[in-house]
Amino acid sequence: MRVRFAPSPTGTLHIGSARTALYNFLFARHTGGSFVLRIDDTDAARSDAALEASIMTDLRWLGLAWDEGPDVGGPSGPYRQSERLERHRAAAAELLAAGRAYRCFCPEERLEELRREALAAGRTPRYDRRCLDLPADEVRHRLDAGEPAAVRFKVPSGEVVVDDLIRGRVVIGADALSDPIIVRSDGVAGYNFATVVDDRDMGITHVIRGDDHLTNTARQQLLFEALGAPVPRWAHHSMVLGPDGGKLSKRHGATAVGDYRELGYLPEAIVNYLALLGWSHGEDEVLELERLVRDFDLGRLSPSPAVFDLAKLGWLDHERIMALAPQEHERRFAERLPAGTPAQAAAALAAAFQPSLVRYGDAPAAAAEVLAPPPPPPDLRAAALAAEPQLAHVRALRAEAPEWLTPAGARELLAAYRAWGKEQGIGARALLMPLRIALTSAEHGPELPFVLAALDRETALARLDHTLAGPGESTPKPGDQP
């Protein structure tokens, strides 16, 4: 089995294309076949080496390594279409010689005119075959005179039946197809033809891609047949839609894989989510790559469009964050924090937020809740101040403790505070809430031991003093926030 993912380097990797890449990858791994990366860069004006590199970076980040490709080589290279132009031309020459293709001298203006007329009359634009039956000597003469000519494929009449592994039998009327240009007048093959010649020469057995290509598939199937090449098995998966039912696009939010990396999602969560978009796994939803490889079955992919659900992706990402080893989580959390965040603070905050974080991109905002809270609203401040004896006592405990507390040290301090409270007949809430408000300006937030461990002594004391100083002090003092 040989499959390929064939992006055009005219944009960054879209989340929908990543899904295509994933299904090709899973199919190859499941069957023990080869996963080929081919770069469809025949559109020289729009193709960009930097975009090619970014697509490869994104695929690698997702963990979708290819067996053959422009960087790793392989037996069917070169793996950029722009380096295979001679093969495309040779195949076009075969079709010309066999009478399956013809030269077309129609200038762009005429074709544009035909398009406009058809659209105005409500018809699908198609080439009117003016050049189909030009006498051979006229063709020779015009070519010799240097007149620009494209090569068109002569679409045979009758319908095309595409036997699809996901969608079953799809019938496409041949008259919907028009005679496609297979080699443009500049000698470069068009998408459909380059793809067929390369899929043939690379021994691709299964073409797995989005169903937006179905009309192309009909043309490509005819081209395989005309070249006398075996037709690969087709598998057209559904599109990813935005919540409003339109094709997932920028207006729905982030669409590029790189955007999701920036937002701090884990690649495993994205891969997991893209798999869930394709087929149902019953009860299990948090799935490792090995499980996806084991379960993958083209026949189980749903032909209906899938709606992208950011909340679901967030849930999967959160599940993965919770499952990470604490050190690994801490590393990922800390690298998102502003430079200069003390290591003790980063460690305590990472632990504090592991149970609630949805994506690592939220780490700075989460950390700021503790490291740089706004001043408390007046009612909270008044409530905290009403607990002056408690705050004074816990201030004394904090003043005696080391500059930085570990979470365990912070727990001990709080245990001492509660023991004192018990002697005084003060309940847990009346002890802890004023402390939380003084330290974070909020009634809710991460566990207090982590908050205490995230703030050095000076900062904690400054915040307690600020609350104890009463309502006159409405702006935080310098040094109150690290």
Judged by the rule CB under 6 A, the positions of this chain that interact with ligand GLU are 6-8, 40, 195, 209, 213
Could you identify the residue written with the tokens 């697509």?
55
**Would you call 247 a catalytic residue per the annotation?**
no
Cα separation of 69 and 296, whole Å?
23
Give the residue closest to ligand GLU by C-beta: 40
**Sign of torsion, CA 216 218 221 226?**
negative
Containing H/E element for 75?
A: none
Q: Smallest distance, Å, CB 57 to ligand GLU?
A: 17
Given 250, 312, 422, 477, the catalytic residue = 250
- 198 vs 330 by CB, closer to ligand GLU: 198
Q: Smallest distance, Å, CB 183 to ligand GLU?
A: 17
Cα separation of 462 and 439, whole Å?
9
Q: Smallest distance, Å, CB 213 to ligand GLU?
A: 6
- 6 vs 218 by CB, closer to ligand GLU: 6
- 206 vs 213 by CB, closer to ligand GLU: 213
Contacts of 43 (CB under 8 A, 6+ apart): 8, 10
Which structure tokens are listed for 149?
């000519």
Containing H/E element for 240?
A: strand 240-241
**How many residues are listed for the chain in this entry?**
482
Could you identify the residue written with the tokens 């461990």?
453
Q: Smallest distance, Å, CB 207 to ligand GLU?
A: 6
Please, what is the Cα angle at 261 between 344 and 82, to 5 degrees?
Answer: 145
Cα separation of 201 and 77, whole Å?
9
Q: Smallest distance, Å, CB 297 to ligand GLU?
A: 20
- 8 vs 76 by CB, closer to ligand GLU: 8
φ, ψ of residue 236 to 5 degrees: the values are -105, 110
Cα separation of 378 and 195, whole Å?
68
Containing H/E element for 33?
A: none
Q: Smallest distance, Å, CB 254 to ligand GLU?
A: 20
- 29 vs 206 by CB, closer to ligand GLU: 206
Cα separation of 318 and 403, whole Å?
33
- 209 vs 359 by CB, closer to ligand GLU: 209
Give the C-alpha distances (Å, rounded to integers) separating 459 from 191, 198, 303, 481: 63, 65, 58, 6
Catalytic positions, please?
Answer: 250
